[in-house]
Amino acid sequence: MPNRETVWTLSPSRRRAIRAFAGLIAGSPLLKGQQDPFREHTRIPKLDELLTALEFEPVFHAKLPRQVYNYTAYGTDGEFTLRRNRQAFDWVDLLPGPTPAKPQTALNLFGTPLAYPILVSPTAAQVAIHPEGEVAMRQGATAASNTPMIVSNVASLPIEKIGAAAKGPFWFQLYPKEDPDINRETLERAQAAGCRAVVVTIDQQASAYERELHDRHLGPPTNRRTAREAAPRTPYRIREFRLFYDWKLFAEIRKLTKVPIIAKGILTAEDAKLCLENGLDGVYVSNHGGRSLDYGPSTLEVLPEIVDAVAGRCPVLFDSGVRRGTDILKALALGASAVCLGRIPRWGLGAYGAPGVQRILEIMQAELVQAMANTGQPSLAAINRSLVRTDFP
């Protein structure tokens, strides 16, 4: 048996006993000592509690590692254009009108029927934000009134698996390669999987992300660069794997496709006209969500001049900065045929999986209908520039 001195040494002192008891009390769920004093609560809300798309981002942020969240959140360089995309919507006023019966929102776009003028933009590496990645994104989008998803060329999962995940329509986004055989194989697989249109991205040649540089120590690399791409041969160490782009590409891509082709990344009237001259079926106004060229214009600012240049000869798609149904209506009023959502569906996917994607798209659809009703718009065809007053700097 231990001697009396040893027992006394190992026994808790009054101070230690009180400290242990205080820790027990502080950790009790019956008290609020562990609650964040700056928020009402710290629990993850139920899906049906979220009423706007913006409410999904904090849940998305809370659930994911910082470097994964930042991949979705960041813009290029100092993120001026990222901020400007959002600010531009504050420079457009909506004018109220008499409330009609339930507004009609259906349309047909490149042979794809849409219940609403909304698509899911192509975004990469979705398995990083949810284990089911693009499969869950497609399932959630399809569940939201068959919203078409534009599947990224750099998706986490094979196009065949994504295409078979749901019965709704989907499109495919292509980053052209110098090797025509790679383009041929990629486009053949996408079309065999059932894609109804091909979106060719032309605005992502040499971007740099300061936030990514700050995150480089937080975990393993999340990019997909090959050894050749990681060691640029150019004097300024710019990755050259997309610097070969020119308009001749579309003649080659046309030979490989049986579906409509749309150019994504158009920001000037001149380029919009070149799209038509090169036989493209549509123009997609985008600055890659502020991830392409910093200090470029916001997409909403340049949308009217591009619509004027196209002059009704082809549909005009639009993305970047959209967060509410009123934003969608503003873009439609300035001439967009449909609006694509990029970050918003990713918030839904990362926060709640496929049901989160469905919920966030349904919120945007409902907000669009409400905005159309409040401004007296009975149908998409009725929407025009008389609905808005702009004050761009």
Q: Give bridge partners of residue 118 from the DSSP assignment.
A: 339
Q: Which of 61, 130, 214, 288 is catalytic?
A: 288
Give the pairing of strands 112-114 and 107-109.
antiparallel
Give the pairing of strands 261-266 and 149-151.
unpaired
Q: Where are the beta strands (DSSP E) in the chain?
A: 92-94, 107-109, 112-114, 118-120, 149-151, 170-174, 198-201, 261-266, 282-285, 316-318, 338-341, 388-390
Full 3-state SS string of 111-151: CEEECCCEEECCCCCHHHCCCCHHHHHHHHHHHCCCCCEEE
Conformational region of residue 79, where left means phi above 0, alpha means psi within -120 to 50, and beta covers everything else? left
Q: Is the dihedral of CA 255, 257, 240, 318 positive or negative?
A: positive
Could you tell me which of 178, 132, 182, 175 has the C-alpha nearest to residue 355? 132
Supply 349's token pair. 């996917």
Supply 49's token pair. 């509690």
Alpha-carbon dihedral angle through residues 211, 213, 218, 224, given to the nearest 10 degrees: 100
10 Å Cβ neighbour count for 42? 10
Is 130 catalytic? The answer is no
Conformational region of residue 70, where left means phi above 0, alpha means psi within -120 to 50, and beta covers everything else? alpha
Residues annotated as catalytic (active site), given as ranges: 288
